[in-house]
């Protein structure tokens, strides 16, 4: 995306970075306030610390904080660039800005961590909501100026055919958004023969 579109902010580059994680093995018990958090020999995942304000930009269900055009566009672009097979979302981390920590010499940048991947085969862990998740994400995503400039507005997952499972309290809202199809009425079964029998 960076190579193709070269996003810029106030005349400077605005690149996107993802933190690389490593798997390690504890060589001794690791304590925090006297409590063992990681036992000797236990595997752990570690990544470099993110400095500056930690922000959430969007979620794996299509929610957007509206605090930047690039993260939502990046999610949409990932779907297009992967040939509709993947969608990177749940974007969070740090948005570089003047006065904040620089990334190398860069003032404007996004540093993402703990990204969720929605995939065709639903093979990226418990936050991978699969094809239905992609449809749900796009049902909430409103294309912004970056999507329009990249001409990807029309490349989206097909709308949901049926409502996703929602908590009971949301059912009323879901009925407004996804009205249930009227079901054809079945004739009532007759329990006894009478003049009112439907047989």
CB of 48 to Zn ion, least distance (A): 30
CB of 128 to Zn ion, least distance (A): 20
Cβ closest to Zn ion, residue 99 vs residue 154: 154
User: Are residues 47 and 19 in contact, defined by beta-carbon separation less than 8 angstroms?
Assistant: yes
143 binds Zn ion (CB under 5 A): yes
User: Are residues 87 and 75 in contact, defined by beta-carbon separation less than 8 angstroms?
Assistant: yes
147 binds Zn ion (CB under 5 A): yes
Beta pairing partners, 43: 25
Cβ closest to Zn ion, residue 18 vs residue 150: 150
Q: What is the C-alpha R_g of the chain?
A: 24
Q: Which range binds Zn ion by CB under 5 A, 34-42, 48-56, 136-144, 173-181?
A: 136-144
Q: Which range binds Zn ion by CB under 5 A, 20-28, 33-41, 76-84, 188-196?
A: 76-84
CB of 111 to Zn ion, least distance (A): 22
Cβ closest to Zn ion, residue 5 vs residue 143: 143
Using alpha carbons, select from 158, 162, 159 the residue that is nearest to residue 180: 162
Q: CA-CA distance, 112 to 56, in Å (whole number)?
A: 9
User: Are residues 160 and 141 in contact, defined by beta-carbon separation less than 8 angstroms?
Assistant: no
Residue 31 structure tokens: 């304590």
Residues within the interface to Zn ion (CB under 5 A): 76, 143, 147
């Amino acid at each position: 995306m960076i190579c193709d579109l070269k996003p810029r902010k106030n005349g400077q580059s605005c690149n996107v970075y993802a933190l690389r994680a490593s798997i390690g093995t504890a060589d001794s018990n690791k304590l925090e306030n006297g409590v063992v958090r990681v036992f000797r020999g236990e595997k752990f995942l570690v990544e470099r610390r993110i400095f500056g304000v930690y922000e959430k930009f969007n979620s794996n269900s299509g929610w957007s904080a509206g605090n930047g055009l690039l993260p939502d566009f990046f999610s949409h672009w990932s779907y297009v660039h992967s040939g509709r097979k993947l969608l990177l979302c749940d974007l969070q981390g740090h948005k570089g800005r003047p006065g904040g920590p620089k990334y190398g010499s860069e003032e404007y940048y996004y540093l993402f961590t703990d990204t969720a991947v929605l995939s065709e085969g639903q093979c990226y862990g418990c936050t991978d909501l699969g094809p239905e998740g992609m449809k749900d994400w796009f049902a909430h995503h409103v294309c912004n100026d970056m999507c329009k400039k990249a001409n990807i507005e029309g490349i989206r997952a097909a709308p949901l055919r049926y409502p996703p499972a929602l908590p009971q309290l949301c059912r009323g809202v879901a009925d407004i958004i996804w009205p249930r199809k009227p079901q054809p009425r079945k004739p009532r079964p007759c329990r006894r023969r009478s003049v009112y029998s439907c047989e």
